[in-house]
Amino acid sequence: MKSNLFISALFATVFSFAGCNSANANPKNKTKIEKPASAAATKIQVAILLDTSSSMEGLIDQAKSRLWNIVNTLTTLKYEGKTPDIEIALYEYGNSGLSEKSNYIRQITPLSTDLDLISEQLFALRTNGGNEYCGAVIQDATKELKWADENNSMKLIYIAGNEGFNQGKISYKEAISSALKNDIYVNTIFCGNKTEGINIFWKDGADRGKGKYFNIDANQSVEYIATPYDDEISKYDEKINKTYINYGAKGADKKMNQVMQDQNAKKVSKANYTDRAVSKSKAVYKNESWDLVDKTKDDAAALSKIRKEELPAELQGKSTEELQKIVAEKTKERETIQKEISVLAKKRQAYIDTEAKKTKKQDDLGNTINTSIVAFAKVKGYTVEK
């Protein structure tokens, strides 16, 4: 597996663009950052634009290896004790297998809370050829995605690649200007030498987007910190899957995909699989579109509306009262498992933080991300869950 520097850089920018540099920290700065008015209206929206040209296998592997780490870090942000809705979108660009008419760009997923879908599509990515038009993909993400209107929501674009930022007919300057008009901040991650990235306008893109510029070695190997808690958390993950009750036309397939994404995470590393298990204990991992337990949390009358044929065969002969009892039991079971994972996850993170301090590494995940989260949370009126 490849380096975690890409995701470390991504996280650092999520929480540092508004509060960690001197310009934004200056009270004289003209940009006013609104304090969230309501947790219910708060969203953290992240669009990740990945170069999938032939030289970017390492970048794709990094994204696969850190998806669940991204989710877990984002969930530490709270407002009024609640976790904002987290939506992630994926785009690929620079792939010669895509249409020239589309500028070799494809929206992989819209902004979505369906984290298993994000994982599924991420693992399906393949690299090919290369015509990388950064301005065009930024423009598409700005125009096509359903960005939140609320001032308290955080709207971010991250674009990663290794060719000239100014390629293509669509000006990156105009595309970024349009994004900023919608309060969408653009951050750039150049896969190569820092000076080279500056010379071919990646830093200029970040500066214009009021974001951060990073450069990484996309082909550096990942180093994971194994902990004494990984195996136990993994066992709980197997138990939590049994609390899901599928319904609807796509329910069975979605439940199967949940297991497939467990397997994908395992293929990356044990640590990545553990990160996914931790994510499944969080409020942001929700599947109300196919799981009865999540569905009934917000709609108590849901069971009376679902047709019997939409249920698994073993439940189709059950009365509404019997279904309510089954769902209640699974709800309680899941909540118990999630609490157990949460306790272990905190111990695991404390262990990782301690071990990370023992070695000096470039772009250290713990120190960089934790510092950025705290600084950003103060500016936006969030708190950080310990």
Co-location of 121 and 265 in the same domain:
no
pLDDT value at residue 36: 38
Co-location of 271 and 179 in the same domain:
no
- Position 206 in a domain: yes
pLDDT value at residue 362: 52
Co-location of 168 and 240 in the same domain:
no
Tokens, residue 219: 């082909």
- Report in angstroms the alpha-carbon separations of 189 from 42, 124, 236, 260: 26, 22, 36, 30
Q: How many CB atoms are closer than 10 A to CB 128? A: 15
pLDDT value at residue 293: 97
How many domains are there within the chain?
2
Ramachandran angles phi, psi of 111, nearest 5°: -60, 120
Co-location of 20 and 96 in the same domain:
yes
DSSP of 194-219: HHHHHHTTHHHHHHHTEEEEEEE-TT
Q: Quote the domain boundaries for residue 324.
A: 230-350
Co-location of 67 and 212 in the same domain:
yes
- Report in angstroms the alpha-carbon separations of 325 from 9, 294, 312: 46, 15, 16
Rg (CA), the chain: 21
pLDDT value at residue 221: 65
Co-location of 134 and 16 in the same domain:
yes
Task: State the CATH number of the domain containing residue 75.
Answer: 3.40.50.410
Report whether 135 contacts 157 (CB < 8 A): no
Co-location of 195 and 254 in the same domain:
no
Question: What's the CA gap between 345 and 74, in Å, rounded?
Answer: 15
At 47, is the secondary structure helix, strand, or coil? strand
Tens digit of each residue's pLDDT, the chain (386 residues):
444 555 555 545 544 444 444 334 443 444 444 443 444 468 888 899 999 999 899 888 888 888 898 888 888 877 777 788 889 999 999 999 999 999 999 999 999 999 999 999 999 999 998 789 999 999 999 999 999 988 778 888 889 999 999 999 999 999 999 999 998 988 888 888 989 999 999 999 999 998 888 887 777 766 788 999 999 999 999 999 999 999 999 999 999 999 999 999 999 999 999 999 999 999 899 999 999 999 999 888 899 889 999 999 999 999 999 999 999 999 999 999 999 999 999 999 999 989 988 876 554 323 333 343 344 455 667 777 76
Tokens, residue 150: 């609320």
- Position 81 in a domain: yes
Tokens, residue 136: 């065009």
pTM: 0.85
Co-location of 51 and 187 in the same domain:
yes
Strand partners, 50: 92, 160
- Position 276 in a domain: yes
Element (H, E) at 62: helix 57-74
Question: For residue 228, what are the contacts with CB-CB under 8 A and spacing of at least 6?
Answer: 351
Co-location of 188 and 270 in the same domain:
no
- Position 250 in a domain: yes
- Shortest CA distance to 248 belongs to which of 303, 318, 327, 194? 303
Tokens, residue 86: 């987290």
pLDDT value at residue 92: 97
At 383, is the secondary structure helix, strand, or coil? strand
- Position 355 in a domain: no
Question: What's the CA gap between 265 and 267, in Å, rounded?
Answer: 5
Helix axes 365-380, 5-16, angle to 10 degrees: 20
Question: For residue 215, what are the contacts with CB-CB under 8 A and spacing of at least 6?
Answer: 189, 190, 191, 192, 193, 194, 197, 202
Report whether 107 contacts 139 (CB < 8 A): no
Residue whose entry in the numeric block shows the structure tokens 């500056």: 198
- Position 356 in a domain: no
Co-location of 48 and 191 in the same domain:
yes
Co-location of 299 and 164 in the same domain:
no
- Position 315 in a domain: yes
- Position 189 in a domain: yes
Co-location of 52 and 162 in the same domain:
yes
